[in-house]
Amino acid sequence: MPIQPEPPPPATGSGRSAETVLVEHYGRLVRIAYLVLPPRTGGHGRVLTAHRVVQRSLPRGASPGGGYAEIRARVLAAALRAGRRTGPGAGLPLVLGLRLSPSVGGADGLTAAQALAGLSAPARAALALAVVDGLPDREITDALAVARVDDPGEALRAARTVRDALGGTAENVLRTAEFDPGHVLLHPTDLLRRRLRRRVATASAAALLAVTAAVVTGAYGDGPDRTGPTGTAGPRGAAAAAVLDPAALRKAPADRWADTARVDFSAWPARGGRSTDRALLRRALRAWGGDDSSVRVTPSSGTGSEPPSAPPSLLFAGDVDGAAVVLLHDGLRVARYAEPLRGSGTAVLDLARTDRADVTTAAAVVVSRTPEGTRYLLAPWIAEAGTRDLLRPDEPTRPVAAPGGVTPVLAGPGAGGGCTAWPVLSLRSSARIVEQHSFLVTDLGELTPAHLTHTPAPGSGVPARQPREATGPSGLAVWARTACTLGGLRGQGVRAVNDWTYARQPLPGEGGTATWVCTRADTWAGAGRVTVWFRPPGGGPGSPGTAAAARADTAACSRFDQHVVAGTTWRAPDGAWWAVAAGSRATARITVRGTTVDGATAAVRAPEDATVDVTAFHADGTPFSPPAATR
């Protein structure tokens, strides 16, 4: 059934009371607030903050009047302010013992969520006004201006780019329950911690046992359906016990990966020599459940550390490099529990997001990391594995044996010092799921390695802006120069990195041909970080070129923002200095330091220390600028 648009909002000059307007259109307003808030807030905090923003939007003062547009402006301004805060919001509605999240959607919802994550808050506001309230462009920019957005036009252009890329998805999916904080799912959160708190409170306040029990029961929702002293268990107690029960662990059939349309961690079978060791599995589950304070818990960037809400899947349990290791997966995260086999070392639990994993990003998990190197557990669909050095693109891949799916200790990129080598894993998927599919992944200090791709230059005979695996000569040549910049992405929750050669530029003064490359790192949390490189001829492996532009939390150089331009200064072989700039293939003309040149590249004489101001234009006259102003 097609999604019907919401009825139009009331006229601006409604004479009804502000409270009446807010109550009548509460659902519309809270959806707008939710779309404006940053996705990195997480579902629970984002839902609560959206409700708080709307509930506090009533005007203060004597006048009871207030039209819809006035209240919407207050909601927009408050949501934009809330999105700039990094700490927990004060005055959130109180929800104890439960986590709230919107309904789970399908692939279109995931695509829309990724698009939202790549937009700035003002652009998300513009998209929300267009989709939820159906406002025309002029009214959107007016509403953003009232909300004190610095550049409403830029926000509208960014929103329009994403809306065009999504097509009908933006119109339909953003109106569904998946993006509606008024329709949420409830999950238990801290059942185990509350049990511990109750025991501590009871022991320290025995004289007030009855009062304490009443307070705990009322404040934390600890009722008769929890496991009590008599051993009876209601629904919530049974759910908590199941999460900690090794017998409830899910185990995929050995060949599930070869006969499923979902090739990710959910298709991994349980492997390892201790997959039936219930004592070890119970300790791992208790650590994830928060029931063992001696375990050091380390979540990756953007990853929550809360217990799983249902029994997870077992991926591996075995002894590796002096530790008992357990790998678990709850549908959203991979957890690695490791305890020393000997001595008195501390057990650790590492967590990493994997909610958008696929055949490449679910291809390997770190099973052991030591000073000597890293061992991986490879996905069951990996037919061949090898290693190669990105800085030596002409050398062949060296095969690696992985009995039982576990690789030998492999050298990783140096965490510090000079960049003399950048080892990567070269993997090939089984022909049972895809033919001739090889790809590269690299260790960036996370549980899962990052997938490396490249997008060839214009005119290379491939579809425009389509990332390819970086295993061929052109991809390896580009990554040979970019490799040493990957060190700056360590520990940031990076899912994949793409090198896009978006332009070639003949240089003046017989300077040869330069290339312009946009390196985009996408994180599991959805945010993107880009750096635009100017590469004149003559640079070798490890020399990325000149950073001409850079920006974090952006959709630039992705499918949702396929237009890029940047400029910098360059010295010709004859000693003359030039301001050079290049745009992607849809660029019709470029203005550099006040001079306009037709085409996608430009070069004008400039002093060595010149500031290179660049603006590019599409054929219809629409302008766009570099991701960030640089020299």
Q: Could you report the per-residue pLDDT of 382-391, keeping only the tens digit for each?
A: 999 999 999 9
Euclidean distance between CA atoms 548 and 180, whole angstroms: 40
Contact, 102 vs 47, CB < 8 A? yes
**What's the whole-model pTM score?**
0.68
Alpha-carbon radius of gyration of the chain: 27
- Band (pLDDT 50/70/90 cuts) for residue 168 is low
pLDDT of residue 14: 43
Q: Which residue has the higher pLDDT, 364 or 510?
A: 364
For residue 79, which phi and psi values (nearest 5 degrees)?
-65, -40
Model confidence pLDDT, tens digit, residues 308-337: 888 999 999 999 999 999 999 999 999 999
Cα 541 to Cα 175, 479, 480, 484: the distances in Å are: 48, 8, 5, 9
Q: What is the model's pLDDT at position 291?
A: 82
- Write down the pLDDT at residue 132: 85
Whether the predicted pLDDT of 206 surpasses 80: no
Q: What is the pLDDT of residue 476?
A: 97
DSSP letter at 527 equals -
pLDDT at residue 197 greater than cutoff 80: no
pLDDT, average across residues 202-213: 36
- List, in sequence order, the alpha helices (H) in 229-365: 235-243, 278-288
**pLDDT tens-digit series, residues 462-508:** 555 579 999 999 999 999 999 999 999 999 999 999 999 999 999 99
Q: Tell me the C-alpha distance between 413 and 446, whole Å.
A: 13
Identify the band that residue 191 occupies on the pLDDT scale cut at 50, 70 and 90.
very low
454/478 Cα distance (integer angstroms): 8
Q: How high is the pLDDT of residue 43?
A: 67
- Cα angle, residue 293 at apex, residues 291 and 294 outer, rounded to 5°: 125
- From residue 227, how far is each of 20, 236, 241, 525, 601 by CA, in Å? 45, 8, 9, 35, 70
Q: At how many degrees (to 10) do helices 235-243 and 191-204 cross? A: 110
Instruction: Please report the pLDDT score of residue 178 as a whole number.
Output: 60
Q: Minimal CA–CA distance to 194: which of 291, 121, 280?
A: 291
Tokens of 337: 């529990």
Handedness of CA 543, 545, 546, 551 (dihedral sign): negative
Q: Are strands 296-299 and 348-353 parallel, antiparallel or unpaired?
A: parallel
26-36 vs 43-55: helix crossing angle, rounded to 10: 130
End-to-end CA distance of the chain: 52
Does residue 123 carry a pLDDT above 70? Answer: yes
Please give the structure tokens belonging to residue 288: 């994830």
pLDDT of residue 300: 93
Of residues 347 and 57, the one with the higher pLDDT is 347
**CA–CA gap between residue 380 and residue 382 (Å, rounded):** 6
Q: What is the mean pLDDT of residues 521-528?
A: 90
Beta bridge partners, 579, equal 569, 604
Distance between CA atoms of residues 427 and 440, nearest Å: 6
Decide: helix, strand or coil at residue 166. Answer: helix
* Residue 248 pLDDT grade (very low, low, confident, very high; cuts 50, 70, 90): very high
Eight-class DSSP state of 6: P
